């Protein structure tokens, strides 16, 4: 083995607890970086679905329109 490899393996054996703590810290940081945005975007999707149930995506809403006008608009619809 080369000198650098021997030194690196000796440091790994000597600082085992520090290496384990660094590994745990890196894995927790990675987990948080991916988990927090995923939860946030999931909550936004749920809110959009709830809003779309209450207020459907109509292009326009008419109220108190006479029946004659409704029938005239139905007959002139472009499909």
What is the tens place of the pLDDT at every residue in 12-69?
A: 899 999 999 999 999 999 999 999 999 999 999 999 888 888 887 767 778 898 999 8
CA distance 72 to 69: 5
Confidence (pLDDT) at 77: 62
Q: 70 to each of 42, 48, 53, 64, 65, how far by Cα in Å?
A: 40, 31, 25, 10, 7
Confidence (pLDDT) at 78: 61
Whether 12 and 19 have beta carbons less than 8 Å apart is answered as yes
Which two three-digit tokens encode residue 33? 């970086």
Q: Which letter does DSSP use for residue 59 in this model?
A: S
Confidence (pLDDT) at 62: 80
CA distance 54 to 56: 6
Confidence (pLDDT) at 26: 97
């Amino acid at each position: 083995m080369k000198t650098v490899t021997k030194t690196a393996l000796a440091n790994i054996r000597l600082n085992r607890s520090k290496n384990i703590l660094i590994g745990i810290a890196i894995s927790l940081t990675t987990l948080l970086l991916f988990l927090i945005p995923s939860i946030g975007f999931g909550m936004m999707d749920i809110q959009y679905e709830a809003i779309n149930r209450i207020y459907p995506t109509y292009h326009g809403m008419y109220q108190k329109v006479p029946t004659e006008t409704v029938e005239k608009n139905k007959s002139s619809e472009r499909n």
